[in-house]
Amino acid sequence: MEALFVLKKVVSRLVFPLPLALQVILLGLIFIIFKRNRTGFVFILAGTVFLGAVSVEPVADRMLRPLEQKYQPLQHNDVSATSYIVVLGSGHFLQDGLPPSSLLSGSSLFRVVEGVRIKNMYPEATLVFTGGRFRYPVASSELAAMASVELGIDASDILIVTDARDTEDEARLVRDIVGDESFVLVTSASHMHRSMIIFRSEGMDPVPSPTDFRAPEKLYNPWDYFPSAGALAKTERVFYERLGLAWAMLRGIVPE
C-alpha cells in the first residue's frame, strides 16, 4: 500500500500542467535531434501554447470555477445544530520561532479560519482537525489545533487525527469519530466535490462548508491575460482534483 501511495503521487505530478508541457517540449527536442524537424516543431509549439494557455488567469478560472461553485459556505440558518466540525488538513512546514498560523499552508489556514467561524456559530460542536505528519514530527492537524486555540477556541473542544495521508484516510478515520452524528465538513472549495463523494462512500452525509475560493466571478483587467505563476497554480489545482476524481472512480468510489 505504501508503494502504491507513492506511485500515485509520482504519476500524478508527472501529468500536472507544467511537467506535462515540459515533457511535450522535450519530446519535440528529441525529434529534432533525430532529424524529425517538422514533428519536433509541432510538439514544441503544442507544449508552449498549452503552457501559455493554462497560465492565463481567465482560462484557469474558467477551469477551476465549476469545481468551486458546487457548494456554498454554511450560514447560521442552514442547519439548526451540528455535533462536529471536521476540518480537513493540507500542507505545513516547521521553522523555529514562527507561530502555528505561519507554519500552515495558505489552504490550511483558510480551512482553520472557516472551522473557527463555524465553531462560533455552533459553540457546542467539537472541532476535528485531520492531517498527517508527512516529513515532519508534528502533524498538520496538531498545528491547526494550536492555531485555533490561539484564535480563541478552547482546547477541550478539539480532537485531532494525525494518521491520515489523503482524503480517503481522513474519511475512514473521521467515520470512527462521528459515527451517525451530524457534522459540518470544511475544506477548500476546489476539493469539496471530491471530499463529499469520498465521505458519502463511507456512509456519511456531511454538511459542506467550502473555503479558500480561488476563482470567484470578477472583472478582468488587461494584465490578467498575461501568463502568470498564480494562474498556473490554479490550473494545477484543477488537474489535481480531476486526477483525484479519476482515481476514486477507478477504485469504485463514484457519486451516488
- The predicted pLDDT at position 1 comes to 54
Q: Are 193 and 70 in contact (CB under 8 A)?
A: yes
Mean pLDDT by 10 residues, the chain (256 residues): 69 90 97 95 98 97 96 91 95 93 96 98 96 88 97 97 91 94 96 96 95 94 96 97 91 76
Work out the number of other CB atoms within 10 angstroms of the CB of residue 203.
Answer: 10
* Helix/strand/coil percentages in the chain, nearest 5: 55, 10, 35
- Of 142, 136, 207, which is closest to residue 178 (Cα–Cα)? 207
Q: What does the alpha-carbon distance between residue 17 and residue 13 come to, in Å, rounded to a whole number? A: 9
- The reply to whether the predicted model has a pTM over 0.85 is yes
- What pLDDT shows up at residue 5? 67
Closest listed residue to residue 241, CA positions, set 200, 187, 177, 173: 187
Answer whether 189's CB lies under 8 Å from 71's CB.
yes
Q: In whole angstroms, what is the distance from residue 135 CA to residue 120 CA?
A: 33
pLDDT of residue 75: 92
Task: Give the separation between CA 146 and CA 9, rounded to whole angstroms.
Answer: 28
Residues facing residue 86 across a β-bridge: 128, 185
Backbone dihedral region for residue 203 (phi beyond 0: left; psi -120 to 50: alpha; all else: beta): left
Strands of the 158-161 sheet, one edge to the other? 158-161, 126-130, 84-87, 183-186, 207-208
In the numeric block, which cell numbers belong to residue 20? 506535462
DSSP letters for 174-238: HHHHHTTS-EEEE-BHHHHHHHHHHHHHTT--PEE--B-------PPPGGGGS--HHHHHHHHHH
pLDDT at residue 231, as a whole number? 97
